[in-house]
Structure 1
Amino acid sequence: MALSQFEIIKSLGEALSWFERELAWGVPAVEISHLTGRIGELYAAMITYGQMATEPNQRGYDVVSAAGERISVKTVTSEIPVAFNENTFDLVDRVMVLKLNAKELAIEILMDAPATQAKEAMRTWGGRLVLPIKSPAQADTLPRTDLLITKQAMAGDIEIRQYENGTVEVVQNARLITPALPILRTIAAGMGIDHFNSTGTPKNTRHLGDQIIRELLARKQEASATDE
């Protein structure tokens, strides 16, 4: 049965919430690979306006895009090689490799390429096609010229920026601070902002950063109004 885009988005949100709960209970991300795999497939279906494969354990691919591309989706939580069945790889039109960042609760696209192009980066091992995975190196210099900054605020000498894709970065003395979450939690504590969700799970970088920026801007506006 075909799912609507709304149903796919809703299912993805529910799967991410369950993933967050598992982490809060102390379950390592590597032990819930069935859930991370499902999250990746739903995400791929969402961004390609596609559908999940119609058969359980579909041979070769997991999602069919709106354009009819048969997509093999692999989702990892660390930089480990991913393997594809060499015998069924000819059924695949497109390869998507996603990384589910457990700390940030964010999905990163490590590869999105035609199957023929992806195969060039693979090696054969025991009847499997193995693709080495390495996340793009995090830049520690600024600025990010490819994305627009939609909101930013200062907390002392620390600048908090939010980009158009929702990414939140923390900058101090023209240097990018990574990971950003620990310092955001310190700032939040000083401002009286709870860094836990109502469910008891920790807020991720995007959620907490956005809340801090909004509060800083609101306080700045209130102070300006008082001075007038």
Structure 2
Amino acid sequence: MALTQIQIVQSLGESMTWLERELNWGVPITELRHLTGRIGELYTALITNGQMATEVNQSGYDVVSGEGERVSVKTTGRQSRNGHISFNVSTLDRVDRIIILRINLEEMQIETLFDGSVDKARELMRCANDEGSGRISISKLIKPRKSVRQIPKVKEVRWNGYHVSELENGSIEVAYRGKNVSPCKPYLRKIANTLSISTLNSNGNRYNTRQLGSLIIRALNDEEP
């Protein structure tokens, strides 16, 4: 039975919550492929106003969009530019569109790395013959950071060797003993626990990096004489 859009939203939220719980238990993202794959398919069904494929292990595609496109969905939890995304080239003739997603573990958000036709995906593939597997390097999908002007800090606080800053664009930076640390969320949680600041919002969900960093800055600034 097809899921309604409301059910897709609910299932996606629950799956993201479960993923974060597993990560907090110390399970590496590489061991949660079944969960990240499900999250990617639900997210794609949501943004395309579509439905999950009707058959289990549907050959070639995972989602049928609201426009009737057969969409192959690939989801990765890799945070670096290393690695690749693999495809079964022999089933690409059953696909109209390819979407590659990445779960940003820092913000627990879903990012779109690629959304295009099979032909455009083939242009990025290595070994993209008519049989076997084709691979797209993640480095081809993630644009390198450009050298841009330094984003001004609008708020900052120092505490016990930590330097927590909120940038003009809302991002949070954390330095410990003069050295920037990344990802910074574990350090923010450690600070919050020491200061007895809850890391959960009123709905029982964890604050993301921006929200938690902003709370810590506000709390420490309020303590200053």
Asked if 1:170 is matched to 2:173, the reply is yes
Within the candidate set 106, 122, 132, 2:125 is matched to 122
Task: Quote the offset at 1:13 in angstroms.
Answer: 0.9
Aligned residue identity for 1:68: G
Task: Quote the offset at 1:101 in angstroms.
Answer: 3.0
**Corresponding position of 2:77:** 77
Within the candidate set 189, 197, 218, 1:193 is matched to 197
Q: Against the structure 1 CA distance between its residues 162 and 218, is the aligned structure 2 distance closer, same or farther, given a 3 Å change threshold?
A: farther
Matches within 5 A, 1:38-53: 38-53=38-53
For the residues of structure 1 that align with 2:155 and 2:172, how far apart are their CA atoms? 11
Deviations 1:172-205 (A, max 9, x none): 9xxx97534255446645754234679999x4xx
Deviations 1:187-227 (A, max 9, x none): 645754234679999x4xx624214436756998x99xxxx
SS in 2 for 1:193: coil
**Corresponding position of 1:101:** 104
Asked if 1:29 is matched to 2:29, the reply is yes
- Mapped contact 1:37–1:74 kept (Cα < 8 A): yes
Task: Quote the offset at 1:44 in angstroms.
Answer: 1.0
**Corresponding position of 1:226:** none
User: Percent identity among equivalent residues?
Assistant: 41
For the residues of structure 1 that align with 2:203 and 2:218, how far apart are their CA atoms? 26
SS in 2 for 1:97: strand
Asked if 1:179 is matched to 2:206, the reply is no
CA RMSD of aligned residues (A): 3.6
Q: Against the structure 1 CA distance between its residues 219 and 5, is the aligned structure 2 distance closer, same or farther, given a 3 Å change threshold?
A: farther
SS in 2 for 1:56: coil
The count of residues paired between Structure 1 and Structure 2 equals 206
- Mapped contact 2:164–2:172 kept (Cα < 8 A): no
**Corresponding position of 2:56:** 56
Asked if 1:136 is matched to 2:143, the reply is yes
SS in 1 for 2:67: coil
For the residues of structure 2 that align with 1:89 and 1:41, how far apart are their CA atoms? 17
- Mapped contact 2:106–2:209 kept (Cα < 8 A): no
Name whichever of 126-135 and 2-11 sits farther off.
126-135
For the residues of structure 2 that align with 1:6 and 1:129, how far apart are their CA atoms? 35
Deviations 1:76-104 (A, max 9, x none): 12242122122210111111111123344
Deviations 1:3-39 (A, max 9, x none): 2221111101111111122222222211121111101
Asked if 1:90 is matched to 2:97, the reply is no
Deviations 1:30-68 (A, max 9, x none): 112111110111111111111111111111111111222
Asked if 1:213 is matched to 2:217, the reply is no
Aligned residue identity for 1:100: I
For the residues of structure 2 that align with 1:115 and 1:53, how far apart are their CA atoms? 18
Aligned residue identity for 1:98: L
TM-score of the aligned structures, taking structure 1 as reference length: 0.72
Gaps of 5+ in 2: none
SS in 2 for 1:87: helix
For the residues of structure 1 that align with 2:219 and 2:203, how far apart are their CA atoms? 26
